[in-house]
A = this chain, B = another copy of it.
């Protein structure tokens, strides 16, 4: 690999001049030309490592998510990515894979690599809740934010994080409230919430929103119910089965997120139970799959792309240096009810579906 000295020598100028040329500082035109040629000849690429050593700037930011294979995070990442690319940052993505250890590991790696900013979607798994583990994770992040030159933004509804970092989130309570109310308004009384562990702030808020709606409709007998469990499709599938066994009177289920709702929906489909006539299904998030399954899944949409984009903007605000806001700022983005086939009104005959635009570009390799 050629270095800046090789280029300088070949161009017959000093390294300082080459350095200036690289960074776009004024250089005499004839020199510029020779240097450009030398760079091309030698296939020279400035080492970010060496540069960072002196400037503290790498032009790289990182994002850590629990699971890239999850459509929700993919969209968040795309928004983040687009925002930062517009500011000439490169973005690298790392996976925490649902493992607290790996989360701290990859964060550490990114920091040591010299990322200027770090966007984190923290784990909210059973292993990482409330407890000491989470507090120490937060302390570590705080040290990174304070001591290092690494800005931090967290995408979460989790309070401890919101108190310490710039965060972006949605109002999960409201989302679940709207979802439940929609089910009630369309004639379902026996609504059951599915999945998630209430120890997680995000889950608790959603369950709260559900309870609130039920109580408002005078259905307090239901208001305390909840089938807790994992937050993936398999969990939704199993929970749906259990609910049907234990509460055959149920006329609607509300997945704590789309994955759970999709699992429930799949169970119903597999057992030839009419959706939404016998059981209506509703999710929260609006991941890409919700628009692919038939019947399409009703849900309360989180603006995933915007969440990522906003996280990027917060990061840039801190990275830019200049006028930093002092307190941690918490950006709350609005959700939106999406009524689809899985909760269509009961008496009404099924109208000709007007397909939504398909999303998510396809594999092209």
Contacts and interface: CB of A to CB of B under 8 A. Distances in A.
> Copy number in this complex?
2
A86 interface: no
A179 interface: no
A37 interface: no
Interface string A210-225: 0000000000000000
A167 to B, nearest CB: 12
A123 interface: yes
A69 B60 contact: no
Contact of A363 (B53, B73, B81): B73
B72 A363 contact: yes
Q: Chain A contact residues (Cβ within 8 angstroms of B): what range? A: 35 or more
Nearest to A289: B292
A284 to B, nearest CB: 10
A360 interface: yes
Given A69-B288, A112-B46, A353-B270, A263 B358 contact: yes
Contacts of A230: 362, 364
A108 interface: yes
Given A59-B109, A266-B358, 12 more contacts: A48-B113, A48-B114, A50-B53, A69-B361, A70-B360, A71-B71, A93-B94, A202-B365, A233-B362, A234-B357, A258-B363, A269-B294
Contacts of A98: 361, 364
Contact of A362 (B75, B259, B355, B364): B259
Contact of A358 (B58, B71, B237): B237
Contacts of A46: 112
Of listed A53, A149, A364, residue having the most chain B CB within 10 A: A364
Interface in A309-365: 353, 355, 357-358, 360-365
A208 interface: no
Interface in A36-50: 43, 45-50
| Minimum-distance CB pairs A-B, first 4 | A232-B362, A259-B362, A49-B49, A92-B92
A288 B360 CA distance: 14
Nearest to A93: B93
Nearest to A69: B74
A125 interface: yes
Given A1-B147, A53-B53, A90-B106, A362 B70 contact: yes
17 contacts: A1-B149, A45-B108, A49-B49, A59-B109, A66-B365, A69-B288, A72-B363, A73-B363, A74-B74, A90-B109, A92-B92, A98-B361, A124-B364, A230-B362, A232-B361, A269-B294, A289-B292
A180 to B, nearest CB: 20
A156 B294 CA distance: 33
A116 interface: no
Of listed A2, A69, A108, residue having the most chain B CB within 10 A: A69
Contact of A147 (B43, B53, B94, B122): B43
A105 B85 CA distance: 11
A7 interface: no
A177 to B, nearest CB: 20
A292 B291 CA distance: 11
